[in-house]
């Protein structure tokens, strides 16, 4: 884990983190701590109708709940953000509580922008375009994966153009994250695995990023360690509260790591495959990781060695190159053992579209941080073809 002598970086993780089974009952106190008293509760229809999550949060908020907006689709989109902002404005909301997975939290970040800035969300797409703090936001993740509760990024789909837009700004980092493992015990195995692998991919991509630095490295490697240790446990027993808690911690660690060091080709390609073919973000990352690791091994073998060690592999006596390839193999096996598909072919992605996907990935903001500099869509296409085919 060497760093250049001219290393310079900015690290930010300003979110206040409240952790614990039952922490959801602290929400009203946390909101008051932000000096706010009318929160728009943003969630999705499943959490509202099929779980007690929303009821528990409403109970905690009491009169401080300005209204519940639950019209958030599986992939957050611009229309949902517009509708949520309109609803929040009508209800006189001065703050946001989001309860859900990445899609809900990212929708809430978009709503936070519109409630403060007005106008069209598309005006704020890109990096660091905002000049002031946005609407106070308290995030309550109900999956352990995206880390959106602590990141400066929101990925929001533009349905008209079938692409995912990236909003990245320090002014949309949530103010408070409430990590309550009791909210994630009902998460089914497939979603548990897919979101868990997303957290893993954040650790991996932060550690191998062109913008890597020691603080994000520490967080990213520990995210990998925790997912590797605790994902099998929660898949074996979804009610294992201790393991669920460590998965939530892993997601937040991974989020803090990549919110600073960025992500790379795995995410650039996953955004496109998700946007064009509806593949779940975590599943797309899981399929891509081993292939991107092989592609990146020429530049990131030493980093991959650290990933292998975080996964408990004995790589003593191996060259960095061999240790890096062993790490890629172990990740592929981990994905398989988590019960996830290992090729885009299995997921119904048409082979004929890979070229267009490779072209689009070139304009994704994440690609510039990839360990190996990507200058030609052919490089992406090679990775996508391998990921389509699956493990040899």
248/18 Cα distance (integer angstroms): 11
Minimum Å distance from CB 91 to Fe ion? Answer: 31
Number of residues that bind Fe ion (CB under 5 A): 1
Q: What is the DSSP string of 191-236?
A: HHHHHHHHHHHHHHHHHHSTT--HHHHHHHHHHHHHHHHHHHHHHH
9, 213 in Cβ contact below 8 A?
A: yes
**Distant-in-sequence, close-in-space partners of 69: CB < 8 Å, separation ≥ 6:** 40, 41, 42, 43, 83, 84, 87, 88, 111
Full strand arrangement of the beta sheet holding 137-141:
16-19, 176-179, 137-141, 95-100, 39-42, 65-69
Q: Between 136 and 282, name the residue whose CB sits nearer to Fe ion.
A: 282
Q: Between 136 and 290, name the residue whose CB sits nearer to Fe ion.
A: 290
Q: Between 111 and 155, name the residue whose CB sits nearer to Fe ion.
A: 155
Minimum Å distance from CB 290 to Fe ion? Answer: 16
Q: Between 135 and 296, name the residue whose CB sits nearer to Fe ion.
A: 296
Which helix (H) or strand (E) segment holds residue 303: the answer is: helix 281-310
Q: Between 59 and 222, name the residue whose CB sits nearer to Fe ion.
A: 222
For Fe ion, which stretch binds (CB under 5 A), given 46-54, 67-75, 116-124, 197-205?
A: 197-205
The full 3-state SS of 85-104, as one line of letters, equals: HHHHHHCCCCEEEEEECHHH
Q: Which of 77, 198, 213, 364 binds Fe ion (CB under 5 A)?
A: 198
Q: Between 88 and 101, name the residue whose CB sits nearer to Fe ion.
A: 101
Q: Between 94 and 198, name the residue whose CB sits nearer to Fe ion.
A: 198
Decide: helix, strand or coil at residue 67.
strand
12/169 Cα distance (integer angstroms): 11
Q: Between 149 and 198, name the residue whose CB sits nearer to Fe ion.
A: 198
Q: What is the DSSP letter of 370?
A: -
270, 281 in Cβ contact below 8 A?
A: yes
Q: Between 69 and 258, name the residue whose CB sits nearer to Fe ion.
A: 258
Minimum Å distance from CB 60 to Fe ion? Answer: 28
For Fe ion, which stretch binds (CB under 5 A), given 20-28, 65-73, 198-206, 382-390?
A: 198-206
Minimum Å distance from CB 226 to Fe ion? Answer: 16
Minimum Å distance from CB 74 to Fe ion? Answer: 15
Minimum Å distance from CB 221 to Fe ion? Answer: 17
Token pair in block for residue 105: 């939290």
Decide: helix, strand or coil at residue 65.
strand
Minimum Å distance from CB 146 to Fe ion? Answer: 6
Binding flag, residue 30, Fe ion (CB under 5 A): no
Minimum Å distance from CB 76 to Fe ion? Answer: 13
**Count of Cβ atoms closer than 10 Å to residue 264 Cβ:** 29
Chain residue at closest Cβ approach to Fe ion = 198
**Count of Cβ atoms closer than 10 Å to residue 38 Cβ:** 17
**Distant-in-sequence, close-in-space partners of 33: CB < 8 Å, separation ≥ 6:** 176
Minimum Å distance from CB 307 to Fe ion? Answer: 16
Token pair in block for residue 210: 């062109």
**Count of Cβ atoms closer than 10 Å to residue 374 Cβ:** 22
166, 364 in Cβ contact below 8 A?
A: yes
For Fe ion, which stretch binds (CB under 5 A), given 194-202, 209-217, 229-237, 332-340?
A: 194-202
Q: Give the interface with Fe ion as residue ranges (CB under 5 A).
A: 198
């Amino acid at each position: 884990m060497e760093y250049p002598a001219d290393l310079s970086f900015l690290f930010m993780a300003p979110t206040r983190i409240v952790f614990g089974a039952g922490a959801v009952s602290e929400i009203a106190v946390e909101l008051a701590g932000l000096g706010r008293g009318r929160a728009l509760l943003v969630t999705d229809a499943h959490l509202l109708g099929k779980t007690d999550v929303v009821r528990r949060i409403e109970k905690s908020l009491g009169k401080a709940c300005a209204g519940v907006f639950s019209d958030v689709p599986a992939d957050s989109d611009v229309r949902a953000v517009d509708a949520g902002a309109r609803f929040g404005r009508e209800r006189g909301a001065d703050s946001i509580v989001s309860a859900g997975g990445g899609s809900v939290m990212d929708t809430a970040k978009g709503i936070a922008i519109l409630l403060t800035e007005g106008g069209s969300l598309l005006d704020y797409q890109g990096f660091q375009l905002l000049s002031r703090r946005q609407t106070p936001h308290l995030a309550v993740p109900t999956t352990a994966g995206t880390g959106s509760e602590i990141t400066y990024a929101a990925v929001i789909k533009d349905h008209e153009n079938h692409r995912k837009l990236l909003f990245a700004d320090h002014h949309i980092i949530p103010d408070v994250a409430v990590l309550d493992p009791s909210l994630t015990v009902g998460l089914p195995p497939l979603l548990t695995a897919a979101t868990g692998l997303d957290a893993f991919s954040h650790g991996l991509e932060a550690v191998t990023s062109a913008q890597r630095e020691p603080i994000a490295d520490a967080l990213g490697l520990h995210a990998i360690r925790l997912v590797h240790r605790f994902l099998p446990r929660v898949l074996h027993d979804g009610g294992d509260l201790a393991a669920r808690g460590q998965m939530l911690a892993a997601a937040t660690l991974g989020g803090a790591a990549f919110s600073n060091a960025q992500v790379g080709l795995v995410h650039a390609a996953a955004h496109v495959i998700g946007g064009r073919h509806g593949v779940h973000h975590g599943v797309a990352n899981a399929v891509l990781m081993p292939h991107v690791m092989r592609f990146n091994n020429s530049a990131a073998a030493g980093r991959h060695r650290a990933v292998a060690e975080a996964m408990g592999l004995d790589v003593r006596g191996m060259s960095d190159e061999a240790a890096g390839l062993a790490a890629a193999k172990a990740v592929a096996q981990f994905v398989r053992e988590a019960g996830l598909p290992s090729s885009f072919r299995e997921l119904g992605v048409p082979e004929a579209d890979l070229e267009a996907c490779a072209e689009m990935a070139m304009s994704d903001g994440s690609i510039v941080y990839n360990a190996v500099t990507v200058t030609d869509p052919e490089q992406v296409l090679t990775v996508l073809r391998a990921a389509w085919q699956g493990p040899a």
